[in-house]
């Protein structure tokens, strides 16, 4: 039951930017501190788990994940756990992230403390509080910011002790764009249910056709970004994922909003992981 709530398939979106940030530091001549890397990865994954659980509890409480849900089962909406139980599990995950973050603050100081606290607050505010981010049009921007720029930059800083430069920021955006595309597919799939629950996501505001064009932009953006950030030598291998992105753009125009998009969502998440792995190969070779 708790594996359903944790959503293991989403955890690659937390792991990939941490690994890429450390690889960027390595490519620039820094060594990799294994303990710091492990703690960074643990924090990122635990915050992602907590965010998923808060989302599960909040949507279940609001009635957004009822019996007519088109996506994977949610434990609160399905009645497998109470809102209180799921929120307790989310707070435990955040507490564990804080514990792992003590070492990171000792290594990175105020800069990392600020990133860590902002990530915890954003993870809670994504689905909870008076104005949840997931109920408005800013979810995709949130993903690019926290699952792209901040995660890559924070991991890079912890390994290099250097403030992130433009190349690091551009790489973070490149990693965040396909992660945002995952959320866009999710929101287009759930368009009708979200509208009934009062959620005005970006997909709901711009409509299905514009959402598909935005998806294409998000899936193609990583390639010019990594070329601009890293140059041809480090970006050429990552370009091998371009045919996969192009194929996903084509397939995204075919299914109507509904259950048929579940495979599209999973494949988009895989594409983000593939881009990340190819970047790792390029940076570490």
Q: What pLDDT does 221 receive?
A: 97
Write out the two tokens for 92.
């435990």
Give the model's pLDDT for residue 84: 93
| φ, ψ dihedrals at 106, nearest 5° | -60, -35
pLDDT value at position 216? 97
**DSSP SS3 for 193:** helix
- Strands of the chain, DSSP E: none
Please enumerate in sequence order all residues whose Cβ is within 8 A of that of 13, keeping only pairs 6 or more positions apart, or say none. 48, 143, 147, 179, 182, 269, 272
How many independent structural domains does the chain possess? 1
pLDDT computed for residue 215 by the predictor: 97
Can you give the pLDDT at residue 4? Answer: 87
Boundaries of domain holding 83: 2-284
Q: What is the mean pLDDT of each run of 10 residues along the chain (285 residues)?
A: 88 95 93 95 95 87 60 80 93 95 95 92 84 86 94 96 94 96 90 76 90 96 94 86 96 72 90 95 88
Q: Which run of H or of E encompasses 129? A: none
pTM across the whole model: 0.91
Distance of alpha carbon 26 from alpha carbon 284, whole angstroms: 7
What is the C-alpha to C-alpha distance for residues 61 and 130, in angstroms, rounded to an integer? 14
Look at residue 279 in the predicted model and tell me its pLDDT.
94
Q: What is the pLDDT of residue 69?
A: 57
Residue count (the chain):
285
Q: What are the Cα distances from residue 1, in Å, to 53, 283, 284?
A: 12, 38, 38
| pLDDT value, residue 235 | 83
From residue 91, how far is each of 13, 48, 50, 87, 97 by CA, in Å? Answer: 20, 12, 7, 6, 10
Any idea which residue has 């690994």 for tokens? 19
Instruction: Count CA atoms within 13 Å of residue 55 on its CB side.
Output: 22
Distance CA 225, CA 173 (A): 8
- Tell me if residue 32 falls in helix, strand or coil: coil
- Among 244, 251, 193, 201, residue whose Cα is nearest residue 220: 244
Tokens for 191? 């368009």
Q: Which residue, among 24, 33, 269, has the nearest Cα to 170 in the 3D structure?
A: 24
Task: Please give the C-alpha separations between residue 219 and each of 11, 156, 224, in angstroms, as whole numbers.
Answer: 19, 24, 11
Closest by CA to 104, choosing from 44, 175, 168, is 44
Residue 153: per-residue pLDDT: 96
Q: Which residue has the tokens 């514990």?
A: 99
DSSP 3-state of 285: coil
Distance CA 87, CA 76 (A): 10
80 secondary structure, DSSP code? S
Give the pair of three-digit tokens for residue 164.
């992130």
State the Cα–Cα distance between residues 218 and 180, nearest whole angstrom. Answer: 7
């Amino acid at each position: 039951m708790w594996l359903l709530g944790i959503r293991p398939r989403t955890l690659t979106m937390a792991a990939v930017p941490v690994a890429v940030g450390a690889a960027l530091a390595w490519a620039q001549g820094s060594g990799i501190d294994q303990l710091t890397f492990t703690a960074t990865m643990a924090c990122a994954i635990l915050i992602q788990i907590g965010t998923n659980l808060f989302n599960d509890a909040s949507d279940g409480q609001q009635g957004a994940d009822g019996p007519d849900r088109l996506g994977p089962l949610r434990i609160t909406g399905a009645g497998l756990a109470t809102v209180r139980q799921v929120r307790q599990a989310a707070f435990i995950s955040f507490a564990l992230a804080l514990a792992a973050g003590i070492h990171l603050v000792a290594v990175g100081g105020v800069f990392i403390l600020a990133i860590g606290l902002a990530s915890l607050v954003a993870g809670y505010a994504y689905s909870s509080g008076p104005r949840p981010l997931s109920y408005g049009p800013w979810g995709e921007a949130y993903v690019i910011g926290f699952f792209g720029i901040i995660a890559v930059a924070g991991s890079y800083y912890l390994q290099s002790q250097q403030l992130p430069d433009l190349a690091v920021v551009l790489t973070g955006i490149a990693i965040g764009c396909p992660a945002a595309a995952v959320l866009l597919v999710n929101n287009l799939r759930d368009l009708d249910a979200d509208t009934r629950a009062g959620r005005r996501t970006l997909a709901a505001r711009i409509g299905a056709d514009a959402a598909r064009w935005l998806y294409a932009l998000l899936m193609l953006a990583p390639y010019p970004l990594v070329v601009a950030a890293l140059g041809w030598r480090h970006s050429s291998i990552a370009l091998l994922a371009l045919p996969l992105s192009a194929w996903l753009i084509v397939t995204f125009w075919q299914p109507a909003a509904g259950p048929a998009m579940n495979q599209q969502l999973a494949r988009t998440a895989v594409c983000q992981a593939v881009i990340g792995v190819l970047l790792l190969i390029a940076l570490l070779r």
